[in-house]
Amino acid sequence: MICLGVEATAHTFGVGIVTDKGKVLANVLDTYRPPEGWGIEPMKAAQHHEEVAEKLLQKALKEAKVDLSEIGLIAYSQGPGLPPCLYKGLEFCKKLAGDLKLPLIGVNHCIAHIEIGKLTTKARDPVTLYVSGANTQVIAFVGGKYRIFGETQDIGIGNALDKLGRDLGIGFPAGPKVEQLAKKGKWIELPYVVKGMDLSFSGIVSEAARRVKKGTSKEDVCFSFQESAFAMLTEVTERAMAHTGKKEVLLTGGVAANQRLRDMLSIMAKERGDKFYVCPKEYCGDCGANIAWLGIVSHKAEVKEKEHEIKPRQRTDDVEVTWT
């Protein structure tokens, strides 16, 4: 069985083709980029998705060297995400599934990140730290669900880095540039905000901006921002390990590219005698392969949908998980 999966929760439209053995045959995507200095406008992103959808479908089929007739299942990203974008994804998949008379299944975007991480690393039952632009969650499988043990109460760590980048005038996306500047920086104290198991990044972003205005060097601000924010993430992840007794950490999402964050988590895991895994870069970000693989996993577990619909506010722990 081969599944074609479509990611369309926010600015990325992705098409992935994956076999039931977990082989990724194609994973192509196109990301809507708002004009410099602007946030993402949902309607514009949705329009972008409509424009690129057919082209990406053809590109994926070509890359996978499969014909549409060989596809056995279609999966779409159901939520969480921006309603106009999710809707475009659903519409596209509904039409495709209808034309080809194939089963259609909606999957959760965040769980798709976890499952592809498990597929592509040796992690079996990890505490996952999912850190992307909009999302920051510490998740573990307990009692039939992927439960969120800690999360951001305001913005995601990726967006926090990008906001910092705007204040520093270093362009978008800022994560990789902040990482480079941090290598030459020294420590200054910045806010460290962990409330119970939850995190907040807006305070550290505003204080960093104030420091820059007062003349602290970009390097020092970037170094200290990373040290403070990543230590917060590591603290909450470690506490989730302690609470759940899990022996593996899985890092995923776009911010997983950061070597300093990897090092901190890896040291934490090593000191506990636990294992640390990072999702391979090509599957860390939003993409169709993640969605296609969760489609396969759900299908094998005989997950059935009463209705095909988008769920813009769906939470990771809303989903009944019967496959693990």
Interaction partner, residue 251 (ligand ATP, Fe ion, none; CB < 5-8 Å by kind) = none
Query: Residue from 258, 266, 298, 316 that binds ligand ATP (CB under 6 A)?
Result: 258
116/140 with CB nearer Fe ion: 116
Question: Should residue 161 be labelled a site residue for ligand ATP when binding is judged by CB under 6 A?
Answer: yes
Report, in Å, the least distance between residue 110 CB and Fe ion: 7
| Residue 274 DSSP label | -
Half-sphere exposure of 232 (CA within 13 A, CB side): 28
Question: Should residue 132 be labelled a site residue for ligand ATP when binding is judged by CB under 6 A?
Answer: yes
Which one of the spans 73-81, 84-92, 124-132, 206-214 is the region binding Fe ion (CB under 5 A)?
124-132
Report, in Å, the least distance between residue 66 CB and ligand ATP: 26
CB 161 within 8 A of CB 176: no
State how far the Cα of 242 lies from the Cα of 273, in Å rounded to an integer.
12
Vertex 50: Cα angle to 92 and 137 (nearest 5): 80
User: Closest Cα to residue 242, out of 273, 266, 278, 201?
Assistant: 273
26/287 with CB nearer Fe ion: 287
| Residue 126 DSSP label | P
Query: Residue from 286, 288, 289, 311 that binds Fe ion (CB under 5 A)?
Result: 286
Only one residue has tokens 């999402």, namely 253
84/156 with CB nearer Fe ion: 156
Q: Which H or E run includes 223?
A: helix 218-244
Interface residues with ligand ATP (CB under 6 A)? 9-10, 12, 132-135, 156, 158-159, 161-162, 173-176, 179, 253-255, 257-258, 285-286
